Amino acid sequence: MPTLYDLHTHTNRSFDAEASLEAQCRRATELGLAGFAVTDHCDVNMHSLACARTVFAAGGADIRRMREQVPFALFQGIELGEPLEDPDYAGEMLSLLPYDYVIGSIHNTPGKPDFYFLDCREIDLDEMLEPYFEELIRLAEWGQTDSIAHLTYPLRYITGKYNRKVELSRYDALIDQLFRTMITRGIALEVNASGLRQGLNAPMPDERFLRRYFALGGRRIVLGSDAHTARDLAAGIPETAALCRKIGFTTALTFRQRRAAAYNLE
Ligand SMILES: [Zn+2]
Ligand SMILES: [Zn+2]
């Protein structure tokens, strides 16, 4: 049994997820996971700070209680979405709990709805994607998160849902700038396995981007399923780990109290 960690999962404390913490833990035990991180959504542009505080304080207490009872590592995380749209809000949430791991995410171009809600059939892709990559660079420069998640997230909808092709090589300069900033700042690159089950047939980012990150000297990767159900816990992680190994990565990271620890990709 290879060592499997899933550093990106949601429970029903996320608006779009259905699994209870108990159900995720039962599934992790069944799968023999070495550990997983609960990284519920905190999108600063979606919910009031008071509401987010209440949800995370309760969720954090549950995780710390559960951690004493389970035979694997249970990490307390947060997926901080769009933090630069309200840095004060983001800062308050970051100081609320003793997180193990903080994911930074961008789910929309600034001021626009989540790609999840957009009809991508008619939309001008440059108008969407250029500000998306620029916002990711700003997120890396902000430097308050341990990783940046699901790079190329808009493809889940543009390609996965609406079947539109998009030539991402036109954004290569922006992506290089993003990777260089992440490497300099020590921010890990998440390899998000959800693309494998959401019409992309590849993780986010895919092999081409992972090879570019590796070529630029990037070695800090984190694997996550982005499971919103217990069934999807760790889904696609073995395949994603195999792809990363093929590219040349030998380790991936877990985080405890916001310190990274490497484990071997087997
Ligand atoms: Zn996300
Ligand atoms: Zn997520």
- Tell me the residues surrounding ligand 1 (ion) with CB < 5 Å: 105
Buried b (16+ CB within 10 A) or exposed e, 65-97: ebeeeeebbbbbbbbbbbbbbeeebbeebbebb
Given this model, what pLDDT does residue 266 score? 82
Tens digits of residue pLDDT in 1-17: 789 999 999 999 998 89
> How far does the centroid of ligand 1 lie from the alpha carbon of residue 44, in Å?
12
Tens digits of residue pLDDT in 121-164: 888 888 889 999 999 999 999 999 999 999 999 988 888 888 89
Pick from 42-51, 141-150, 182-191: least confident: 42-51
> How far does the centroid of ligand 1 lie from the alpha carbon of residue 10, in Å?
10
- What does the alpha-carbon distance between residue 149 and residue 25 come to, in Å, rounded to a whole number? 22
Given this model, what pLDDT does residue 185 score? 97
Given this model, what pLDDT does residue 15 score? 86
pTM, two decimal places: 0.96
> How far does the centroid of ligand 1 lie from the alpha carbon of residue 9, in Å?
10
> How far does the centroid of ligand 1 lie from the alpha carbon of residue 3, in Å?
24
> How far does the centroid of ligand 2 lie from the alpha carbon of residue 34, in Å?
20
- Tell me the residues surrounding ligand 2 (ion) with CB < 5 Å: 79, 226
- Structure-token pair, residue 148: 């940046």
Is residue 191 scored above 90 in pLDDT? Answer: yes
Give the number of whichever ligand sits closest to the CA of residue 148.
1
> How far does the centroid of ligand 2 lie from the alpha carbon of residue 80, in Å?
9
Given this model, what pLDDT does residue 73 score? 98
Q: Is 251 helix (H, G, I), strand (E, B) or coil?
A: strand
> How far does the centroid of ligand 2 lie from the alpha carbon of residue 8, in Å?
6
Given this model, what pLDDT does residue 156 score? 87
Give the CATH superfamily of 5-264: Metal-dependent hydrolases (3.20.20.140)
Given this model, what pLDDT does residue 249 score? 98
Share of the chain above pLDDT 70, in %: 100
What one-letter code names the amino acid at 211? R
For the chain, give every domain's residue range: 5-264
pLDDT category of residue 118 using cuts at 50, 70 and 90: confident
> Between residues 120 and 239, which one has the greater pLDDT?
239
- What does the alpha-carbon distance between residue 9 and residue 232 come to, in Å, rounded to a whole number? 9
Q: What is the mean pLDDT of the chain?
A: 95
- Structure-token pair, residue 167: 């030539």
Report whether 27 contacts 227 (CB < 8 A): no
Average pLDDT over residues 84-97: 96
pLDDT category of residue 105 using cuts at 50, 70 and 90: very high
Given this model, what pLDDT does residue 29 score? 97
> How far does the centroid of ligand 2 lie from the alpha carbon of residue 100, in Å?
16
